[in-house]
Amino acid sequence: MMGHTHALTGAVAWLALAPALASLPYLSESTRLIEMGVMADALTPAELIAGALICAGAAMLPDLDHPSATIAQTFGPLTWALSKVVAWITGGHRGATHSLVFAVAVGIGAHLLANRYPLGRDILVVLMVGLALRAIGIGIPGKKFASAMVNIALTVGLFAVFRSYEVGYAWLGLAIGIGSFIHVVGDCCTEKGCPVLWPLRQRWVLPYKIGIKTGRAFEQKFLAPVLSVAIVGLLYLRLAPL
Ligand SMILES: [Zn+2]
C-alpha cells in the first residue's frame, strides 16, 4: 500500500476507536480525571486530533524496512540509512516490522519513553506529526526543500498548539502501537500479505484473495477519497456538539 493510504487508515483507526480508548483508565492522567470527574471525557478535542495525527504518522513505521517507501525518504539520508539498517536486520520488506510483535514493541517502547523522558516524548510527537504531514503530501509539488520547510513549520506550529491546549500524552504509546498495527492490517489486504504472527512465517492475506494492488486506480481513486471522507465524518461525529 502507498504511504498516504497507510496514514489515512491510521487517522481513521484512532478517530473510530477514540471513545473506547478514552475510557481506558490509564490513558487519563489522574489530575485531569479528578478535575473532570468523568472518565469518558478524558480525551480532549485537541488530544483527539493530536492522536489522529500521531497514529497516522505511526502507520508509516513498518515501511522503514523499505528504502524507497515514503517514510525512508522523509528525513533525507538519515531515514534512508535507517531503513537500510532496518531492512538488513528484519530480512527485507514485509518481514518482522509487518507483525503484531513489532506493533506491540514500538507501542510499549513509546509508552515507556513518554513516561520517563519528556524531551524524548516531545521529539517522538514531532517526528510522528511530521511523518503524517509528509505522508498526506502537504508541501509544494516538485520543490523538495520548500516542502521540507513547510512541513517543519506546520509540525512545529501544531506541536505548539497542542502544548497551548495542554495536550497530555498518556496515550502516546497506544496511538503508536495502533498506528503500526493498522499498517499491517492494510498490507494484509494487498496481494502479498504480511507475516502477522512473526516469527511464524505464514503470510496473512485479508479478506481472502481480495488482493488490492499497490498504487493502482482502486487505491488512488477510490480508497484514498473514501478514507478522507471517513476522517471528516468521524471528526464531525466526535467533535460536533450534540
Ligand atoms: Zn508495508
In 3D space, the residue among 116, 109, 88, 241 whose CA is nearest the CA of residue 175 turns out to be 109
- Distances in Å between the Cα of 133 and the Cα atoms of 105, 127, 153 are 24, 10, 11
CB 172 within 8 A of CB 179: no
Residue given cell 515507556 in the structure block = 112
**Distance of alpha carbon 60 from alpha carbon 5, whole angstroms:** 10
Measured in Å, residue 221 CA sits from the centre of ligand 1 at 20
Domain spans of the chain, in order of start: 3-239
Residue type, 191: E
**Distance of alpha carbon 74 from alpha carbon 205, whole angstroms:** 28
Cell readout for 110 is 513509546
Measured in Å, residue 79 CA sits from the centre of ligand 1 at 16
Per-residue pLDDT of the chain (242 residues), as tens digits, is: 788 889 999 999 999 988 777 766 656 554 444 344 333 456 788 888 999 999 999 999 998 888 777 787 777 788 888 888 888 887 777 888 999 999 999 999 999 998 889 999 999 999 999 999 988 877 777 777 888 888 889 999 999 999 998 888 888 999 999 999 999 999 888 878 888 888 888 888 876 556 666 666 777 778 888 888 888 888 888 777 66
Measured in Å, residue 192 CA sits from the centre of ligand 1 at 10
CB 10 within 8 A of CB 55: yes
Measured in Å, residue 165 CA sits from the centre of ligand 1 at 33
**Distance of alpha carbon 190 from alpha carbon 9, whole angstroms:** 14
CB 130 within 8 A of CB 153: no
Task: Give the DSSP letter of residue 63.
Answer: G
In 3D space, the residue among 11, 47, 50 whose CA is nearest the CA of residue 32 turns out to be 47
Measured in Å, residue 229 CA sits from the centre of ligand 1 at 23
Measured in Å, residue 194 CA sits from the centre of ligand 1 at 8
Measured in Å, residue 173 CA sits from the centre of ligand 1 at 20
Measured in Å, residue 16 CA sits from the centre of ligand 1 at 21
**Distance of alpha carbon 118 from alpha carbon 169, whole angstroms:** 10
Measured in Å, residue 1 CA sits from the centre of ligand 1 at 6
Measured in Å, residue 187 CA sits from the centre of ligand 1 at 6
For the whole model, what pTM was predicted?
A: 0.86
